Amino acid sequence: MAKTPRRTRRSNRIQKALATVGVAVLVSTALPRAVGADSYDFNSGNDNGWQRYSLPAMWAATFAFPDDGMGGKAYRIYAPPTGDDPFGLGNARGGSFLPTVYTGRFYMGADFLAWNANWEQEAGLLFYLQDVGLGTSDGYAATYSSGYKRLYISAVNDERPTTVAEVGNGNLVLDPSRRYRLVASSHDGYTLLFQLFDLAEPNSPVMSAVGMDGSYYSGYCGFLVFQQRYPSATDGAEATFDNYVAKVPAAGEMPATVTDLLPAPEGKAREFYPKISVSILDRDTSVDPASIKFFLDGQLIPNSSLTIEPALVKASNPANMARDFSGATASYDITTLLPWGSKHTSAVVFADNTGKLYTNTWMWTSAYPLLPATQSLPIGSLGVRGFDFRTVQSENGGVNLANSLARARLQLAVPPQIPIDRSATGIVQVLDWDKKNEPPSNVPGLCAGSYINIAVECRAYLELKAGTYRFHIVSDDRSGLYSGLADTADMLVLWENPDSTANATFEFAVEADGLYPVHLIWEETGGAAKLQLFSVNPDDQSETLINDPANPAGVIKAWYPLVCYSAESITGPWTVERTASNTVKTVDVTSPDCPSTVVGSMVTGGRFIAPVSTATRFYRIEAPRKVTITKFEKGSTTVQIDYVLE
């Protein structure tokens, strides 16, 4: 894994881009305007009065006005990638602002309609912007990072950022099918609030970054898009905004406000027993903690069941920045397992120090991971234990590729979208490898040595009973466990790394007894390399490797994904041959890098034997690789089906 902390790495990337000596283009003749109020819906199809910021020539940002889906226009800023950056321009970036000066107290907001979710980028708002120019710009940026999946407030000095506040824990994944709104404000000029709203719940924030900093107190407001992955020939930065508003709120117009709600408005609660919580920030007025009341589906929750703290704590903020703020936090733990897919309405009511009441009502869905019975095979249908694996590695000239599952998927694609130097496929019994072990338990298919830019996909059917499960995963770098044997639009995310490493537990439910197909994707960028997958006994918290071949009590078995189906017609319907036996042939896997060392075992073919049917039957085999039936022989009581895997 990469050893550089994320915050330092991010600062270095942006600093390299923005402190580079080069040329930026400011496109506007607008003069600074006195403090006031601005609104712009872009329905005119132009940005007259806005001042654009862009790199020059072929790296210049473009500014367009696409349909907003509501009968009007929106504002799209696109900064193309700088590639190998021959002129040292740094990261792709672009922005624009209105030359209205806001001092101290302010409010600004804009709809956030679209962004490139596949790129590592930041996009959002600028405020207190001043001394605008390449290497000179100062102010604050309030951005959503699709790369780090967080909200940030950054103080920018000569275009060098320092993180003031952050929130999201690497798990803030915005849904491109939904519409959001970004709001930045300050009631006193140094307490900084950046809120994210789902437009379906315009009064209840999904989450907020809260920080405290006094570096800047006055300046312009506007938009920013910024490329995080640098250098890159493919990733730039882009976002689409709409319905911009900026103003100076009147005295008393910024009362105590809700900053965070759980479960998130219009969100999905992935926990079996979710927590309802609210965080409230004091501003012109202060919250009365004793006044807080919770409702769930219209029923008042007794105050004795609430946990109330007379402060708002942002523990994810940098250690050298403010984390404690005046306000309150209240929470309630649901103790009943809610039906999967059920929709719920939560409400919080509180009073401020003037006695005025405020209400936030929001909806959410109980959506803990549930493996549906329709995806399963009957227990006993498969006969070979183990996981299918496919390992690929890219040397990339010794340079680390992006540390992301998106990069791993590009390597694992058929054909690969990133050049591959090594590949192997085979069968393993457990997911348990660690480069640092003595001796090391190496990644299957690879020799001991450099573990740079690896991607591995593992597939199996897990034998599960109806009920709930807890797994423990140790992952260095990133990994994800999903339903199905391959990525599909409707696959269920059982778990996915929020950061570059993980040592975490996660839970999911199973609807009925059966064999459930799953696939795991793991990647390693550089340094240490580790992956382990265990089940956890809820009674004593003991752990067992998934598919431990020693078969200890409670082991969850994994079955190799070779399935024999039959049907009375070539067009189906096809059903699994539950009583078919399967004997596989395997060969040792070696590598040109260590030809005398066995680095894995590969299934090359085998034989299914199934009972003879009294009716005409057609047979087919599903396998993790291309499969060919080489022999079909019918006996008096059984049929023999020989096959090979390519």
Are 389 and 527 within one domain?
yes
Q: Report pLDDT for 439.
A: 60
Interval 477-531: pLDDT, tens: 999 999 999 999 999 999 998 778 899 999 999 999 999 999 999 999 988 889 9
Domain count, the chain: 4
CA atoms within 13 A on the CB side of 502: 28
Strands (E), 561-637: 563-567, 575-576, 581-591, 594-611, 618-622, 627-634
Are 281 and 385 within one domain?
no
Percent pLDDT > 70 in the chain is 94
Are 96 and 214 within one domain?
yes
Interval 5-33: pLDDT, tens: 334 334 433 433 333 333 445 544 344 55
Are 413 and 495 within one domain?
yes
CA distance 290 to 280: 13
pTM score of the predicted model: 0.81
Give how far Cα 121 sits from Cα of 86, 88, 153, 367, 509, Å: 21, 19, 15, 28, 34
CA distance 213 to 201: 29
- Residue 208: CB atoms within 10 A of its CB come to 24
Q: What is the CATH number of the domain that holds 520?
A: 2.60.120.1560
Are 103 and 161 within one domain?
yes
Are 118 and 152 within one domain?
yes
401 token code pair: 């590729």
- The separation between the first and the last C-alpha atoms of the chain, rounded to the nearest angstrom, is 33
30 token code pair: 């607008």
CA atoms within 13 A on the CB side of 645: 22
Mean pLDDT in residue range 281-297:
98
Owning domain of residue 604: 567-645
Are 429 and 320 within one domain?
no
Mean pLDDT in residue range 33-41:
77
CA distance 102 to 94: 22
513: CB partners within 8 A, 6+ apart: 379, 464, 465, 466
Residue 66 lies in a domain: yes
Question: Residue 439: is it exposed, middle or buried by C-beta count within 10 angstroms (0-12/13-18/19+)?
Answer: exposed
Q: What is the CATH number of the domain that holds 181?
A: 2.60.120.560
Residues 89/59, Cβ–Cβ less than 8 Å: yes
Show which of 199, 218, 247 is a domain's final residue. Answer: 247
Are 553 and 603 within one domain?
no
Question: Which position has the token pair 């590969």?
Answer: 602
18 token code pair: 């923005």
Residues 402/229, Cβ–Cβ less than 8 Å: yes
Are 357 and 389 within one domain?
no
90 token code pair: 């740094």
Percent pLDDT > 90 in the chain is 81
Q: Report pLDDT for 630.
A: 97
Peptide bond into 231 cis (omega under 30): yes
Interval 166-178: pLDDT, tens: 999 778 999 999 9
For the cut 70, the answer to whether the pLDDT of residue 148 exceeds it is yes
